[in-house]
């Protein structure tokens, strides 16, 4: 099993595994990544993926990909396929070790009958509302169901009739008989099976009863002989239940270890909430580049290497914490700085006419595709009398530290000439600046600076009007306006959505070297940020660029102001 570009730092889980191997408890390491196929994976799942596959690779063991497909009402083949795509995209491969909880439905049902036969389970006729009432609270014990005293033979008969489809959906359940007074409410006779007529993605209509997640999860680990079952902290209170099942059934007992889940600022990390955003059309889909899903991040231009580095950097701990989005963005910047070729693009074009440049003449400048990697080669940039620069690079009345274009001011065009703004043309009706008439210094081409020529401080990007490619650019920003939505008491997270999380620019222009850029291509628009060719909406002659991340943390500037 290969593990690209991930260094596993020492952590408490590795210490446990080292002790187990040294003490002879295990001869190898078998972990698993067990997603429920009821939605798309998000960045929080990436932490678990990197941990489970990374540990298996580090100890030369194996990691299983197991779909916990016990709820056919919410599960779809689309989600199964997407999960596989995301795990592979991150750089991991489960080989022949792909499993499904549904592979074990017959075995799990056999376990259920065994619990009934041992007096550890019973069929209950309470309604869901009655069951909640009987369950008690965190401070008050629950009450025994009136059906708890059913004889074993009756329970076994009813369970088999449940499987045969004799009863209506929701009319009966199978419950474990543990302790209705237990301080841990998970041990208060939890439901093991419910009646549910729904088409399953893999088993079709074979079954009309389905195991609950808590019953299938631990037993699936046992069946697969998982050595170290790694779960996030919310499963810590479920561990005594999983232990009880293994002991009652007298089956192999995996060791469960809990670690802190990933919480990230300025976003939501709940599948339920992400599904709400999709269904209510606050976003364009699971792969919307504003979403924290891996498919959304991939579409936005995040790289698998950056996500693996992020997961390594935040580490594995036992206490919940919130990681600032800037940490992830810095990992992306670091990765793309090394790998993304450079190009020039103008997002909000402002026309520049070089009045002393020969009309109809075109020349070419050569520029490196990457300043730190000569192996990427060079690109050719056409230059002509009529250019476009970014509107943000001009101010009619600039302050002292503004080193870009202004009336009477000089700048250097990146890779080109020094120009001076001589005249500002405005729209008579609106007063908006529509054109700059400038002159160029013919002795300064390609970065040259003649002897005695004063060096200019400002360097700006540009494109040739006659050669530039019109493109659409989508500027993505953070999903929420606030860092921690949970701190906004009494407010629905949807009230905190960032209305400026997407800005679509339809007049943008880029240099012609990008004409054949393929979907998914990452690059840096010089001075503007990192972008990628959208892998869904781009087409030949109609490129769409998504902004992956700015060159520096613009949110930090806002926070400091």
Pair of tokens at residue 338? 């090394």
* Residues taking part in catalysis: 36, 261, 271
Q: φ and ψ at 553, to 5 degrees?
A: -75, 100
Q: CA-to-CA distance for 55 and 53, rounded, in angstroms?
A: 6
Look at residue 353 and give its three-state secondary structure: strand
Look at residue 289 and give its three-state secondary structure: coil
| Burial of 208 from C-beta contacts in 10 A (0-12 / 13-18 / 19+) | middle
CA nearest to 312, candidates 84, 553, 4: 4
* 169 C-beta neighbours (distance < 10 Å), count: 13
Contacts 24+ apart (CB under 8 A), 274-281: 274/39, 274/40, 274/42, 275/39, 276/494, 277/494, 280/494
Q: φ and ψ at 167, to 5 degrees?
A: -120, 155
3-state SS of 314-343? HCCCCCCCEECHHHHHHHHHHHHHHHCCEE
The structure tokens 């063991």 sit at 61
Q: Treating both helix axes as pointing N-terminal to C-terminal, what angle do 105-117 and 239-249 enclose, rounded to 10 degrees?
A: 80
| Burial of 101 from C-beta contacts in 10 A (0-12 / 13-18 / 19+) | buried
The structure tokens 């000439």 sit at 417
Pair of tokens at residue 482? 């606030």
Helix (H) or strand (E) segment spanning residue 462: strand 462-464
* 206 C-beta neighbours (distance < 10 Å), count: 11
Q: CA-to-CA distance for 327 and 134, rounded, in angstroms?
A: 46
Tally of helices (H runs) and strands (E runs) in the chain: 13, 27
* 453 C-beta neighbours (distance < 10 Å), count: 12
Q: CA-to-CA distance for 362 and 343, rounded, in angstroms?
A: 19
The structure tokens 């909430």 sit at 273
Contact status, residue 378 vs residue 559, Cβ threshold 8 Å: no
């Amino acid at each position: 099993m290969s593990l690209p570009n991930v260094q596993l730092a020492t952590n408490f889980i590795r210490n446990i595994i080292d002790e187990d191997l040294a003490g002879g408890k295990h001869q190898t390491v078998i972990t698993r990544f067990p997603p429920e196929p009821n939605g798309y994976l998000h960045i929080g799942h990436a932490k678990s993926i990197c941990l489970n596959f990374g540990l298996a690779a580090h100890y030369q063991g194996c990691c299983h990909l197991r779909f916990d497909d016990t709820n056919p009402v919410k599960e779809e083949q689309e989600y199964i396929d997407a999960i596989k795509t995301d795990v592979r995209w991150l750089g991991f491969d489960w080989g022949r070790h792909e499993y499904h909880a549904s592979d074990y439905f017959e075995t799990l049902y056999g376990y259920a009958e065994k619990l009934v036969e041992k007096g550890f389970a019973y069929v209950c006729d309470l309604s869901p509302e009655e069951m909640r009432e009987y369950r008690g609270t965190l401070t008050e014990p629950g009450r025994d169901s009136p059906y708890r005293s059913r004889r074993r033979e009756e329970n076994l008969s009813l369970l088999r009739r449940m499987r045969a489809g004799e009863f209506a959906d929701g009319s009966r359940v199978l419950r474990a008989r543990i302790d209705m007074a237990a301080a841990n409410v998970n041990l208060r006779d939890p439901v093991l099976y419910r009646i549910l007529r729904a088409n399953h993605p893999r088993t079709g209509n074979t079954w009309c009863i389905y195991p609950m997640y808590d019953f299938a999860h631990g037993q699936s680990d046992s069946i697969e002989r998982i050595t170290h079952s790694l779960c996030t902290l919310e499963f810590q209170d479920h561990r005594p239940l999983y232990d009880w099942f293994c002991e009652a059934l007298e089956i192999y007992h995996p060791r469960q270890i809990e670690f802190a889940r990933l919480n990230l600022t300025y976003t939501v990390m709940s599948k339920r909430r992400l599904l709400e955003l999709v269904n209510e059309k606050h976003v364009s889909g699971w792969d919307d580049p504003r979403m924290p899903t891996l498919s959304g991040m991939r579409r936005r231009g995040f790289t698998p290497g950056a996500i693996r580095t992020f997961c390594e950097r935040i580490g594995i701990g036992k206490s919940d914490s919130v990681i600032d989005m800037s940490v992830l963005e810095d990992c992306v910047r670091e990765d793309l700085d090394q790998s993304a070729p450079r190009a020039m693009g103008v997002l909000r074009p402002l026309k520049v006419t070089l009045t002393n440049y020969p009309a109809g003449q075109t020349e070419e400048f050569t520029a490196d595709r990457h300043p730190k990697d000569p192996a990427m080669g060079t690109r050719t940039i056409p230059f002509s009398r009529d250019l476009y620069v970014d509107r943000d690079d001009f101010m009619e009345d600039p302050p002292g530290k503004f080193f870009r274009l202004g009336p009477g001011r000089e700048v250097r065009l990146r890779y080109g000439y020094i120009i001076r703004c001589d005249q500002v043309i405005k729209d008579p009706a609106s007063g908006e600046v529509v054109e700059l008439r400038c002159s160029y210094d013919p002795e300064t081409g390609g970065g040259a600076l003649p002897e005695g020529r004063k060096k200019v401080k400002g360097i700006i990007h540009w494109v040739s009007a006659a050669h530039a490619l019109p493109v659409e650019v989508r500027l993505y920003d953070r999903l929420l306006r606030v860092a921690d939505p949970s701190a906004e008491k009494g407010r629905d997270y949807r009230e905190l959505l960032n209305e400026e999380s997407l800005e679509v620019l339809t007049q943008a222009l880029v240099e012609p070297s990008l004409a054949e850029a393929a979907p998914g291509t990452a690059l840096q628009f010089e001075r503007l940020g990192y972008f990628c060719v959208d892998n869904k909406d781009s087409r030949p002659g109609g490129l769409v660029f998504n902004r992956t991340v700015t060159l520096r943390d613009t949110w930090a500037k806002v926070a400091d102001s």
